[in-house]
Structure 1
Amino acid sequence: MKISYNILKNFIEPPKEYSAKEIANTLTMHTVEVEEVVDLAERLKGTVVGLVTKVKDHPKADKLKLATIDIGKKSLEVVCGGVNLREGMKVAFAQVGTQVRWHGEADWAPLEKATIRGVASEGMACAAEELDIPDEAAVEHGIMNLTQLEAEPGTPLAEALGLQDIIIEVDNKSITHRPDLWGHFGIARELAAIWQVPLKNPENVSIQSQQDIKLQVKINEPKYCRRYLGIVLTGLRVASSPVWLQQRLSSLGMRPINNIVDVTNYVMLEYGQPLHAFDLSKLASPEIIVRLAKRNEKLVTIDGVEHKLESDNLIIADIKQAVALAGIMGGEASEVSANTESIVLESATFDAINIRQTAGKQSLRTEASVRFEKSLDPGLAELAIRRAVELMSQIIPGVKMASELVDDYPESAEPINLMLNIPWLQARLGCDISSSEIINILERLGFSVSGSSPDVSVTVPSWRATRDITRVEDLIEEVARIYGYNKIPITLPKFAIAPPDKDAEQDLRWLIREVLVGAGWTETLSTSFVGSVSGEELELVNPVDKARAFLRPSLLASMVEQFEYIRRSAGNRPVKLFELGRVFINDSGQYPIKAKSKEMLPNQPWHLILASFEPTGNSFRVVKGMIEFVEAKAGVKLNPTYKELAGGFIAEIDLDGLSLSAVYQYKALQKYPGVERDLSIILPPDVSWEQVTTEVRKQSPLIVKIEVFDVYPEKGSLAFSLTFQEPSRTLKSEEVNDIMAEVVKTLQDKFKAIVR
């Protein structure tokens, strides 16, 4: 969102010592994040109003002209290709050294003196896009026409166009929770609280109505429309807005359209309250109905798009048809046009959730819907419509208020009162801030505070009571940010350090995962949603995918799907997969459906599933051996269910009730180094690794570790390392050599091993 410094000054007088950039820093430190600060006048420095006094053909180019341009103190000759260039025309003239954007596409760059087709050019008559200025009257391949301005040649362009302003761009994400900050008045109110300066509150403009027309408003859906104000204005003449209004809208990123629409947009930018104008002559009668759309009802919005409305879409209608998508966009049939002479001006408060949902369903987000989605203060609606009537009266002579200001406000919200304990807030801020300063900050922000410390009653202002400040904890942030986060000392919190509670079942799962991954198995993660296979599955009430509308009672179906897919892509290579996950059984579990409920969710035990494919045909032995290895490591007994599949084997294990039983004790590091030796052998295919390790360990108690580092199944080749260690001394090479000789002899005698 863009904020104009000039508009801000309508509501607040910034301290003289603050520059615009310092104001931006103040906002960032206390309220919202500022992304950029742009000085419009600085960007246009060196660009002035020029008067074309002479135009002649370029001697060497058919499409170029030579123009003599008066810029006040001197006249300069330039080469220009603008198709609308003529004598007596006022132009935006960029002098040499001025920053411009060539054809509105390139980055900003300084203009240099150039020779074009043999003729020197001492500047440039610019198109609006080359100065990044909106121009509704722009001519294709033409230059900016400023003839309507009264400014003398040489007048700085920023001054002539009223662009002596500074634009502060706020990050919208930082104000998503603050509906009161979507307009200049809300930002000014924040700055007034921070600087402790007066806020120029807008006056409640008096409306003198002639009551020629009886406007009726009927809210059929008070749940979705909390307040609706309307008034009929006649005697209108649609025309372009005054230059100052057009320039302010343009500088804030909005395209000027006409005086009526521009006023509604400008007031929205001032106060954050969207407005809409209906052409009264295009309505069936001066009666406005706020209702939900009918089935198959259609509406063509002002952008020319036809929308098929849904039954939960809130609309504005006359007695015959829908005329607007409430809070989002008006309808084409009631749009203000060049012939409009009377309007119904609308200012309303719509339900944030309904607006958000409707905008999403209709793929139509607008400046209005973005604001209504934030939950606007109903009090803002009256302020905005009175301001709009005032502005239209000022810029459109002859405007009449032809009806009463109709205000349908079914039920005003009760004020939010919070009990605040001052010492409680001080403790949570962690700094020495007095109770009087806390109360002063809250009152500056518009809160009403009654009672005396330590317990005071705080009434939330209406503009902060719409899903913003709802509980006493919210007041901590309010005090902290205005006081200044930079003033709060940085201290580490004090708390007792205690080891976390042990969860033996979770520890078991972590150990299983660690062992399997360490052994070269790949973990998979699959969705809990499956199609019905056995008929025992629990059915979902609101499935994301109708083909997977059930909760899995087993990991088997998920693993089979993944295993077969990977087998196809892996070819004849080994595959080793596992998954740890919950399954869902149709009996009562241990978790309640909701807090304090006696009804329990279905049982959700943890299962482990392993799947292996070995080209050698040893898939079952690999799975079984891995399960036995896990049992040994964890000190538990597992009860697998095996299934043969796609040349491999799958085993599923119910881990319910199992926990890590192995007791880990501290063991001091050895003082003396170990000795490592490697051994590579070829074994018959019927010899298992477990048999090898058992026989090797029998040869000496000095063998403390045996670890495989290479396997070549096709050749029966196996390479492993042995670690020898004596806790009381350093081993000699001769001792280790003797043990290694015994190991080799045993493997040769027992298994007919061949040493490589």
Structure 2
Amino acid sequence: MFVPVEWLKQYVDIDGLDMDTLRDNMIMSGSNIETVEDLGERINKIVVGKILEIENHPDAKKLVVTQVDVGEEVLQIVTGAENIKVGQYIPVILNGGRLPDGTKIKSGKLRGVLSNGMMCSGEELGIADKVLPIHQAKDGIYILDQAYPLGTDIKEILGLNDHIIEFEITPNRPDCLSILGMARETSATFNIPLKAPQINVQEEVDMIADYAAIDIEDNELCNRYVARVIKDVEIKPSPQWMQNRLMKAGMRPINNIVDITNYVMLELGQPLHAFDLSTLEGNKIIVKRAKDRETFTTLDEVERKLDSSMLMIADSEKYVAIAGVMGGLNSEVTKETKTILLEAASFSANSVRATSKKLGLRSEASARFEKGIDPNIAIMAANRACQLIEELEVGKIVGGVMDLYPNRADEKVIEIRPKRMNDLLGTSLSNEEMIGILKRLEMKVIPKEDKFMVNVPTFRLDITQEIDFVEEIARIYGFNNLGMTLPKGNSQGAKTNGQIIEEITKINLNASGLNEIQTYSFISPKTFDMLCIPEDSFMRNVVKLINPLGEENSIMRTTLMGNMLEVLGRNYNRNVECAKAFEIGNTFIPKSIPVEALPIEKKVLTLGMYGKEIDFYGLKGVVQKLFEKLGIEGYEYIPEKNHKSFHPGRCASIVYGNHTLGVIGEVHPDVLENHDIDTRIYVGELDFNILLQITRLDKFYQELPKYPAITRDIAVVVKDEIYVKQIEDIARENGEKILESVKLFDVYKGKQIEEGYKSVAYSLVYRAKDRTLTDEEVTKVHENIVKVLEEKLGGSLRE
């Protein structure tokens, strides 16, 4: 779960804590943290601008020349964006500014016209496509929602002066799948009071009974159903602050009503759903099971096959939602919606889990319901959504609440023995200290002789018996404060999962012809200059030794690339014609400068090679073979032009989701010259810690295809700068589930091809899993792929 720290601060006062302290203490209290990202760390000189004029470029049809007011001056900016208009407020990066990916922008001429700065798209601001607001053009300039003071730092407007903490929430702690849940954990960890949200709703004179009725037919699968009605609804984009929080938490803004339901779900952990009341026949909601072999079309426009185990939400005539999973297309909120019925319900975790699995359909709501949700927060969540609707002035709240709660969930009272707790933990905590810890966890404690009667909040579904309190007391007291003792008894040693993966890696690289090397962890400060690493790079933040053996070994390394080049250079200068090597070793990243604590030890895999028949693709092949052995899939190569140690245009970053696994490429000629090497060398450096986390050694069986394939070859003429990945992505995106594989078999440049262009040939294999394809089906898809290639890449079929 992604938790923006700015949002977290709304519920617990942690302004006085630095990120290292917050991260380390949360980890020690049992909250597993995957990553901490500083959103604005690499952004510089991006401000709010207003478009004053737009004119056609004199020498380029696809470009326009704009005049943009950025507060202190009006800039002339040339752009190819098609979604801009006069009067819009947009993000503008000034001359000398820096984008999140490290790209620096300088003034220059585009087709002969001066462009002083650049308008920014969502992607350039570091906003992923999957969370880009639905009203923003995917490939266009990011349009701000309203007028802001010109020249204001964009980090303030888009909330980029923030850190995002990615927590790994275990299945037994569904209460932590919310901002409020993590605020509770933070409050308990640092013993800082929790600031619970204050919810007040101003209701209209109308009463909800005049608008809707609720009926629960299956009390076992639906424990509670809360409904509120909002009238005079105005559908429009939500305000920028709400969009910012949703995007930082990993959700795409849709419109104000949908965004409010998602916002409350992230904030409180209770999924909500809004129905267009005008689409509900009889203005009634009925919670009941489906019948076998019925069908229902969900919001994603997919028709689902139902059975009698699935719980549904229906009106008087039809189904309108799959309970706890997804709403129906027939009752979605649209621009024409004027009255909505807001649902906050409690559904059986087992039922939602089984339904989601059968349908192959998971949503943010089902991910929470299937782990279990406290039914007592339903009314709070419904009222919180109503409060936000009022504050945003996009609807009026109808008086009254419909709340059907047939099986009330009450707090559990569990008896625990303080002596038993101390015996198991090896501590000597007093009763007062133990009570204090339990109260920090929002538990009520009544001492009774040598026992405690503890009232457990209903949101703590994981605490059911006395032994569960051992971990709770230990983690808040501090695992690091527990005494250390050696285990007793006979035990047998075994390799850890990390050691097994490391061994597999070494065996695979040896099989690829690479020799393992081991180098010193101490390097020379000159290493960074020899690698042409910029002065402001984080890699120059190093741990310096107090008593080094000499200047050449006076600091701890933050990269293994210098060590690898030193070894390869030594071999080359001793007339070794071909060398291939790898090393798995630690780098040492200081937590702060000056160094006041032990550095972070990050394990890195470095590869290096040179020789007559070795090129970039040879190194890439070694990496791909290793990833295949480790079961790593779904990664991609992104051209990297800003790494000063590598040759521009012959370097690529390896990206896996939001993580950069590393970089591979040809070493820059200046770096080679610094190492007295006059042959091409290819080096890769991978984050081995991330590789350990994403390795999948399990093998999965896949049955052989039952139906024949149809193969079509295609040769497309495109510009030299077009990457084959762009062609392959378009083919796969438009394959309509019958395109099985796309295989490149030829790239040709010659007399028959215009200069500046190339012919790229592919073999496309089509196959369906459930039937034999016809030529007509394949031809339709194949021709559509060709059409999209022509439209998006300007490609043409080679005659």
TM-score (norm 2): 0.57
In structure 2, the residue matched to 1:175 is 170
In structure 2, the residue matched to 1:72 is 71
CA contact (8 A) 2:235 2:394 kept: no
Q: Deviations over 1:552-571 (max 9, x none)?
A: xxxxxxxxxxxxxxxxxxxx
Deviation at 1:319, TM superposition (A): 2.0
SS at match of 1:261: helix
Q: Deviations over 1:247-304 (max 9, x none)?
A: 2222222222222211111110110100011111111113221111012222111111
Deviation at 1:33, TM superposition (A): 1.6
CA distance in 2, matches of 1:341, 1:320: 21
Q: What aligned pairs does 1:348-363 form with structure 2 within 5 A after superposition?
A: 348-363=345-360
SS at match of 1:265: helix
Q: Does 1:310 align with 2:304?
A: no
CA distance in 2, matches of 1:188, 1:346: 25
CA distance in 1, matches of 2:162, 2:339: 34
Q: Does 1:230 align with 2:227?
A: yes
In structure 2, the residue matched to 1:18 is 17
1:440 maps to amino acid: G
In structure 1, the residue matched to 2:189 is 194
SS at match of 2:155: helix
CA distance in 2, matches of 1:498, 1:63: 72
CA distance in 2, matches of 1:206, 1:70: 41
CA contact (8 A) 1:207 1:386 kept: no
Of 184, 188, 191, which aligns to 2:179? 184
Q: What aligned pairs does 1:179-578 form with structure 2 within 5 A after superposition?
A: 179-203=174-198, 205=200, 208=203, 210-211=206-207, 213-214=209-210, 215-397=212-394, 399-402=396-399, 404-452=400-448, 454-464=450-460, 466=461, 468-494=462-488
Deviation at 1:360, TM superposition (A): 0.6
In structure 2, the residue matched to 1:143 is 141
TM-score (norm 1): 0.60
1:185 maps to amino acid: L
Deviation at 1:115, TM superposition (A): 4.8
CA contact (8 A) 1:207 1:401 kept: no
Deviation at 1:142, TM superposition (A): 3.8
CA distance in 1, matches of 2:52, 2:236: 31
Deviation at 1:74, TM superposition (A): 3.7
Deviation at 1:372, TM superposition (A): 0.3
Given the superposition, is the C-alpha separation of residues 141 and 266 from structure 1 closer, same or farther in structure 2, using an over 3 Å criterion? closer
Given the superposition, is the C-alpha separation of residues 47 and 280 from structure 1 closer, same or farther in structure 2, using an over 3 Å criterion? same
1:3 maps to amino acid: V
Deviation at 1:376, TM superposition (A): 0.6
Given the superposition, is the C-alpha separation of residues 498 and 32 from structure 1 closer, same or farther in structure 2, using an over 3 Å criterion? closer
Given the superposition, is the C-alpha separation of residues 218 and 67 from structure 1 closer, same or farther in structure 2, using an over 3 Å criterion? closer
Q: Deviations over 1:571-595 (max 9, x none)?
A: xxxxxxxxxxxxxxxxxxxxxxxxx
Given the superposition, is the C-alpha separation of residues 31 and 207 from structure 1 closer, same or farther in structure 2, using an over 3 Å criterion? farther
Deviation at 1:399, TM superposition (A): 0.6
Given the superposition, is the C-alpha separation of residues 185 and 310 from structure 1 closer, same or farther in structure 2, using an over 3 Å criterion? same
2:423 maps to amino acid: A
2:191 maps to amino acid: Q
1:450 maps to amino acid: I
In structure 1, the residue matched to 2:5 is 5
Deviation at 1:212, TM superposition (A): 5.6
CA contact (8 A) 1:300 1:331 kept: yes
Given the superposition, is the C-alpha separation of residues 115 and 238 from structure 1 closer, same or farther in structure 2, using an over 3 Å criterion? closer
Given the superposition, is the C-alpha separation of residues 241 and 56 from structure 1 closer, same or farther in structure 2, using an over 3 Å criterion? closer
In structure 1, the residue matched to 2:503 is none
Deviation at 1:114, TM superposition (A): 4.5
Q: What aligned pairs does 1:633-652 form with structure 2 within 5 A after superposition?
A: none
SS at match of 1:223: coil
CA contact (8 A) 2:133 2:253 kept: no
CA distance in 1, matches of 2:47, 2:111: 26
2:99 maps to amino acid: V
2:172 maps to amino acid: H
CA contact (8 A) 1:449 1:456 kept: yes
Deviation at 1:244, TM superposition (A): 2.1
Cα RMSD of the aligned pairs, angstroms, is 2.6
CA distance in 2, matches of 1:362, 1:398: 35
1:123 maps to amino acid: G
CA distance in 2, matches of 1:290, 1:391: 27
Given the superposition, is the C-alpha separation of residues 108 and 357 from structure 1 closer, same or farther in structure 2, using an over 3 Å criterion? farther
Deviation at 1:418, TM superposition (A): 2.1
Q: Flag the structure with larger Rg.
A: 1
5+ residue gaps in structure 1? Answer: 102-106, 500-756
Q: Deviations over 1:617-672 (max 9, x none)?
A: xxxxxxxxxxxxxxxxxxxxxxxxxxxxxxxxxxxxxxxxxxxxxxxxxxxxxxxx
CA distance in 1, matches of 2:284, 2:59: 67
CA distance in 1, matches of 2:124, 2:416: 56
CA distance in 2, matches of 1:429, 1:182: 28
Deviation at 1:479, TM superposition (A): 0.6
SS at match of 1:72: coil
Deviation at 1:27, TM superposition (A): 2.0
SS at match of 1:131: coil
CA contact (8 A) 1:41 1:163 kept: yes
CA contact (8 A) 1:213 1:232 kept: no
Deviation at 1:128, TM superposition (A): 2.2
Given the superposition, is the C-alpha separation of residues 54 and 297 from structure 1 closer, same or farther in structure 2, using an over 3 Å criterion? closer
Q: Deviations over 1:421-471 (max 9, x none)?
A: 11211121123333321121011101221124632222211111x2x1112
Deviation at 1:76, TM superposition (A): 4.0
Given the superposition, is the C-alpha separation of residues 140 and 407 from structure 1 closer, same or farther in structure 2, using an over 3 Å criterion? closer
Deviation at 1:88, TM superposition (A): 4.8
CA contact (8 A) 2:199 2:383 kept: yes
Deviation at 1:99, TM superposition (A): 3.3
Aligned residues: 486
CA contact (8 A) 2:98 2:105 kept: yes
SS at match of 2:454: strand
CA distance in 2, matches of 1:238, 1:373: 30
In structure 2, the residue matched to 1:33 is 32
SS at match of 2:141: coil
2:185 maps to amino acid: E
In structure 2, the residue matched to 1:553 is none
CA distance in 2, matches of 1:412, 1:474: 23
SS at match of 1:218: strand
Between stretches 88-97 and 330-339, larger displacement belongs to 88-97
SS at match of 2:206: coil
CA distance in 2, matches of 1:153, 1:393: 29
SS at match of 2:258: helix
Given the superposition, is the C-alpha separation of residues 392 and 140 from structure 1 closer, same or farther in structure 2, using an over 3 Å criterion? closer
CA contact (8 A) 2:224 2:406 kept: yes
SS at match of 1:270: helix
CA distance in 1, matches of 2:287, 2:252: 29
Given the superposition, is the C-alpha separation of residues 400 and 424 from structure 1 closer, same or farther in structure 2, using an over 3 Å criterion? closer
CA distance in 2, matches of 1:198, 1:252: 24
Of 102, 106, 121, which aligns to 1:127? 121
Deviation at 1:66, TM superposition (A): 4.0
CA distance in 2, matches of 1:28, 1:112: 42
Name the % identity. Answer: 39
CA contact (8 A) 1:149 1:160 kept: no
Q: Deviations over 1:164-203 (max 9, x none)?
A: 43322222xx332111111111111111112222212234
